[in-house]
Amino acid sequence: MTTAPPILETRGLTKRFGSRTTVSDISLTVPAGCAFGFLGHNGAGKTTVIRMLVSLTRPSAGAIWIAGQSLAGHREQVLARVGAIVEEPRFHPHLTGRENLRVVAAARGPQARRRIEPALERVGLCDRGDDLVGEGRTVFVSSHLLDEIEKTCHAAAVIDRGRLIAQGPISELIGDTHTHYELTCDNPRAALNLLAGYPAVVQASQTPSGLRVTLTDPRAAGAVTTLLIEAGISVTSFAPVRTSLADRFLGLTSRVGGNA
């Protein structure tokens, strides 16, 4: 099985304004047909990168390929396939494209309804107007709303102070291996002493609600539970703690908020 080429690639993308470098050596790879999140604090350089991607500003260095074609060499042809919407577009996913436009037109008066068909024709979607919103396109989403990106995107990249510091599938960025567990039981101190010498336990510490336990392997969770029960400790819950994209983002970036 062959792997589809990426829809967007950049290599060494850099932007300088005088002596100030706002974006430095960005090399992105965006898979085709997915929702791709582009994350960073305000001032991290997200907007500057996007302006270069849609040719609103010229890179100081580096190259951009969209659908395998160089933006520098085929600007008009490449950008004819690209749409950009700023701020907060909203669509109803259970409605078709034409139905979404009718909802918008209803709020704007009778004149707007007559512009639906010309609008579909202008963007080449007359024959797809009755399809549900989606169409299998690649969507590049720039945001600092981490929960939204985690729920809607397949992959993402993180930029900080003009530099790309991580990219890949959401699951890989999170590094979610479920080896951290929250344990609640009737005797936390006894459980802590027992787990301290158990080979599968990397670390165990007390929390306000019980214990936080780190295992070498998620498959050891059953054995740990059995160990506690056989020692006479009543286990109420032993649940994996899932790392969020927000947790990972804060660990990767250099600050919480603020302008670069």
Instruction: Assign residue 37 the CATH number of its domain.
Output: 3.40.50.300
Q: Which domain holds residue 81?
A: 1-89+136-172+245-260
Compute the average pLDDT of residues 241-254: 71
**pLDDT score of 97 more than 90:** no
What pLDDT does 251 receive?
Answer: 67
What pLDDT does 7 receive?
Answer: 93
| Whether residue 75 is found in the same domain as residue 144 | yes
| Whether residue 60 is found in the same domain as residue 141 | yes
| Whether residue 15 is found in the same domain as residue 81 | yes
Instruction: Please report, rounded to a whole number, the percentage of residues in the chain having pLDDT higher than 70.
Output: 88
What pLDDT does 260 receive?
Answer: 39
**Residue appearing with tokens 């009543």:** 234
* Model confidence band, residue 128 (pLDDT cutoffs 50, 70, 90): confident
| Whether residue 229 is found in the same domain as residue 147 | no
150: tokens are 């985690």
Nearest to 159 by CA among 35, 254, 59, 73: 254
| Gyration radius (Cα) of the chain, Å | 25
**pLDDT score of 136 more than 70:** no
Could you tell me which residue, 4 or 260, shows the higher pLDDT?
4
Last residue of a domain, one of 70, 102, 132: 132
Highest mean pLDDT of the ranges 7-16, 104-113, 216-225: 7-16
DSSP the chain: -PPPPPSEEEEEEEEEETTEEEEEEE--EE-TTSEEEEE--TTSSHHHHHHHHTTSS--SEEEEEETTEETTTSHHHHHTT-----S-----TTSBHHHHHHHHHHTT-HHHHTTHHHHHHHTT-GGGTTSBS-TT--EEEEES-HHHHHHH-SEEEEEETTEEEEEEEHHHHHT----EEEEEES-HHHHHHHHTT-TTEEEEEEETTEEEEEES-GGGHHHHHHHHHHTT--EEEEEEPPPPHHHHHHHHSSSSS---
| Whether residue 17 is found in the same domain as residue 56 | yes
What pLDDT does 177 receive?
Answer: 54
| Whether residue 11 is found in the same domain as residue 70 | yes
| Whether residue 48 is found in the same domain as residue 141 | yes
Which CATH number characterizes residue 206's domain? 3.30.70
What pLDDT does 9 receive?
Answer: 96
| Whether residue 65 is found in the same domain as residue 165 | yes
pLDDT in tens, 37-83: 998 888 889 989 998 998 888 999 999 999 999 999 888 888 888 87
Count of structural domains, the chain: 3
pLDDT in tens, 156-169: 998 888 889 888 88
| Whether residue 57 is found in the same domain as residue 126 | no
Evaluate whether 213 touches 183 at the Cβ level (below 8 Å): yes
- The lowest-confidence range among 72-81, 129-138, 213-222 is 129-138
The C-alpha angle with vertex 173 and arms to 172 and 174, in degrees rounded to 5, equals 90
* Model confidence band, residue 188 (pLDDT cutoffs 50, 70, 90): very high
* Model confidence band, residue 252 (pLDDT cutoffs 50, 70, 90): low
Evaluate whether 91 touches 133 at the Cβ level (below 8 Å): yes
Tell me the torsion sign for CA atoms 205, 221, 210, 196: negative
Instruction: Please report, rounded to a whole number, the percentage of residues in the chain having pLDDT higher than 90.
Output: 32
* Model confidence band, residue 137 (pLDDT cutoffs 50, 70, 90): confident
Highest mean pLDDT of the ranges 2-6, 10-14, 106-110: 10-14
What pLDDT does 258 receive?
Answer: 42
- The lowest-confidence range among 37-51, 76-90, 117-131, 234-248 is 76-90
Give the other-Cβ count within 10 Å of 101's Cβ.
Answer: 20
